[in-house]
Amino acid sequence: MIRSLLYVPGNSDKFIAKAHERDADGIILDLEDAVLPSEKAGARQRLAQSVAAVGQNGAMVFVRVNAAETGLQDDDAAAACLAGAHGILVPKASKPEMLQALDHHLTRVERQMARADQMRLVPMIEEPGAVLNASAVATATPRNWGLLTGGEDLATSMNATPTPDMLRLPKLLVHLAAKAAGLRSLGLLRSVADFRDVEAITAATLEARQHGFDGATCVHPNVVPLLNRGFSPTQAECEWAREVVDAYARAEQAGLGAITVQGQMVDRPVVERARRILQVKQTSVETA
């Protein structure tokens, strides 16, 4: 499960030191927008220690590399790979060719270091053209693992303000592209920037989960528990799911394909959703 991904600026020793205690399912060590140009080389060098440090309690570790156009991306990606990160967030991903070039580069690095597992990629969609091209980006390489919209950059590139209303359509288009490609879809239908509005984040997490988002990124540790809770099935959902699965098993025995549970129709896709809820619940109990 990847319900919560916490951004940690890659040059912040203070944030890095305690990041593993924040209970995030994933940590994103940022080398890009949260790190000033003068700090970027140092942040890249630190990956050798920071990747292991933030992952010591079992969180997945991603590194957000710099965009291809900066000329820093290949060296950032190689450093992330050598440091043992699970994957890379690729900002300003707009064309499949960009991801394919990164894929080939990583294949060379992995071969040189005899790394057993493949680095995963999470392209970030941050321009209007990339939103419209999200399907091609999502299917560019088998390394793609998740997909997300960079709301702040998207708004800036469109001379827009990243209100929930402005972000809704592009984020849902990117979400559909992720789901169509079988990737994890990450995000809320709002910006990550106003991280103190607990009520709005809680509501947006519920909304995102109802749309089928798998988890979301955040910039502050206070948001992590909101995401972990919001992207997990509730007690009531688990009880409903149990009842549906049990009732459907009895119905199948009796030769029935559609039944009523709690006043609502239950047929195959409904049972499928109920089974998935129980499976997620089971997995979270096993890994807790």
Task: Name the residues that contact ligand COA, by CB under 6 A.
Answer: 6-9, 14-15, 18-19, 30, 33-34, 192, 219-221
Q: Among ligand COA, Mg ion, none, what does residue 214 contact (CB within 5–8 Å per kind)? A: none
Q: Among Mg ion, ligand COA, none, what does residue 196 contact (CB within 5–8 Å per kind)? A: none
Q: Does 76 bind Mg ion (CB under 5 A)?
A: no
Applying CB under 5 A, what is the total number of residues that bind Mg ion? 2
Backbone angles phi, psi at 262, to 5 degrees: 50, 40
Rounded least distance, CB 126 to Mg ion, Å: 6
Q: Which is nearer to ligand COA, 155 or 192 (CB)?
A: 192
Q: Among ligand COA, Mg ion, none, what does residue 153 contact (CB within 5–8 Å per kind)? A: Mg ion
CA separation, residue 36 to residues 11, 41, 88 (Å)? 9, 10, 19
- In the set 25, 30, 103, 153, which binds Mg ion (CB under 5 A)? 153
Q: Which is nearer to Mg ion, 43 or 277 (CB)?
A: 43
Going 172 to 178 to 184 to 186, the CA torsion angle's sign is negative
Backbone angles phi, psi at 89, to 5 degrees: -90, 125
249 burial class (0-12, 13-18, 19+ CB within 10 angstroms)? Answer: exposed
Task: Kindly give, in sequence order, each residue whose CB lies less than 8 Å from that of residue 25, ignoring residues fewer than 6 positions away.
Answer: 1, 2, 3, 4, 5, 59, 60, 215, 228
Q: Which is nearer to Mg ion, 24 or 219 (CB)?
A: 219
Q: Which residues bind Mg ion (CB under 5 A)?
A: 33, 153
